Amino acid sequence: MIILYAVIAIIALLAAIMAINTIYKKPVKEAARNLESLELDKRKIAQHLSGMIKIKTITAATVEECDKKAFKGFHKYLEKTYPLVHKTLEYETVNDFSLLYKWPGSGSAKKPFLMMAHMDVVPVDERTKDKWKYGAFSGEIADGYVWGRGAIDMKGQLASVMESVEYLIAEGFTPKRDIYIALGHDEESMGLYGAQATAALLEKRDIHFDFILDEGGVVMDGKVIGANVMAATIGICEKGYADIRLTAQSKGGHASRPPKQTAVGEIAKAIIALEKKQMKASLNEPLRHMLSAVGGYMKFPLNVIAANLFITKPLLLKGLAAKPTSAALVRTTAAPTMLKGSTASNVLAEKAEAVVNFRISPDNTVSELMAHIKKTIANDDIKIEIIQAYEPSRVSDTQSEAYRVISGTVKSIFGEYVVSPYPMIAATDSRWYTKVSDGTYLFQPFSSLSEDLGTIHAVGERLAIDSLAQGVEFFIRLVKNADE
């Protein structure tokens, strides 16, 4: 009986602790902030973005393949559209097509900070171009939106940055600290010749930033992780990236006399194994920060689970890993994307290949991923080759002054949203700048992304005109707040 009583007492104590934790972590709504209204010409700003979209700055894998006319034309468009920026700021090209601007400060002990964007866009699939309501490169302004490839990714943010600086200069504002703007030209092709070269140049000049702000976190529906709230998420790290090629070989021959196992069959088995046996889910640091911010908004029993991770972590991980969107937050993902076999339907492939794209969790490394692939496939006859791979980025500090400034600015613009750190699941140019910055933060200040995020790289990409103006206001206030 004593043992039974002890067990009951322990259970009761744990239940009490969990109840107290849940109540303690219940969110307290902040009072809305009244900001002075800014005089922004929304129509003019939309027209400027429209003009950018019309210039077909399609990404290229090398400098030689870059459309010189398009990118140089884009440079000229920026000079014409933002005359005060180009009169006041120092600027230069990097590897012919990327742009680097410096806004000299009047004098401050603070380190400079960097705002980033990229000029290039992904191509439009010819098979779907007729499905666009408005032409993919029309830059049409209609129905309250600016339409076209790059509206969100990421000429909308590029326009917001440039508009904000033009506005501030016209207002007579001069920053105390130096401010930089970096515009890449090949982000969609991994940034090897744009961002990487720009970051190397800055490192060579011994320029080190307090913080960097690039694309990434968005305004999103918290229901993705079971929270009954809209969240403005600030990325504090990026998952790693790896393209892995799997190759199997066989003698080939006529398809009428297939062997017991073909090269294509070997590759198929390997892919099935990788999809079936995923890497272990984990509660990484950025996700912990996110749950701390939004966990109190979860409905029962999720709020109890989020508030008591010392007991409930396995249950939470199992729940998040069950859905594709939330699974990307807790583990390394595997996505087979390319397959290659025989050149004819009746010929056995002498060589079969597959490319699998992995996004590596902050709790994993490239070497751990390779070990997992080898163990999972368990076939020494399949060659495993790294095409390209990058480690997860450093997790930026959420207690820093830079994060306080950025999150405070986000809150001032998106007062009705919960501001939360976020583990960025995709890749951006900012990963190249780790050596030249104390912290990297990722955010796109457009409320309409909560509905239109699925149009990125897809048919019907668009950005709401009101959201575009939000973005301009965000960067205006960020520059001022970071200068205090």
Confirm if 358 and 242 have CB atoms less than 8 A apart.
yes
Three-class DSSP category at 81 = helix
Three-class DSSP category at 323 = coil
Render 122-172 in DSSP notation, one character per residue. Answer: PPPPTTTGGG-SS-TTT--EETTEEESTTTTTTHHHHHHHHHHHHHHHHHT
Three-class DSSP category at 317 = helix
Query: CA 474 → CA 144, 409, 419, 464, 465, distances in Å?
Result: 20, 7, 14, 15, 14
Tokens 């501001």 map to which residue?
Answer: 419
120: annotated active-site residue: yes
Tokens 């009428």 map to which residue?
Answer: 256
Three-class DSSP category at 223 = helix
Task: Identify the bridge partners of residue 246 per DSSP, sorted by sequence position.
Answer: 354, 384
How many Cβ atoms from other residues are within 10 Å of residue 318's Cβ? 11
How many Cβ atoms from other residues are within 10 Å of residue 27's Cβ? 14
Three-class DSSP category at 473 = helix
Longest dimension (CA), the chain: 85
The Cα 327–Cα 166 span in angstroms is 41
The Cα 245–Cα 353 span in angstroms is 7
Among the listed residues 187, 238, 353, 452, the single catalytic one is 187
Radius of gyration of the chain (CA): 25
Among the listed residues 67, 120, 214, 452, the single catalytic one is 120
The Cα 406–Cα 422 span in angstroms is 13
Residues labelled as active-site residues: 120, 187
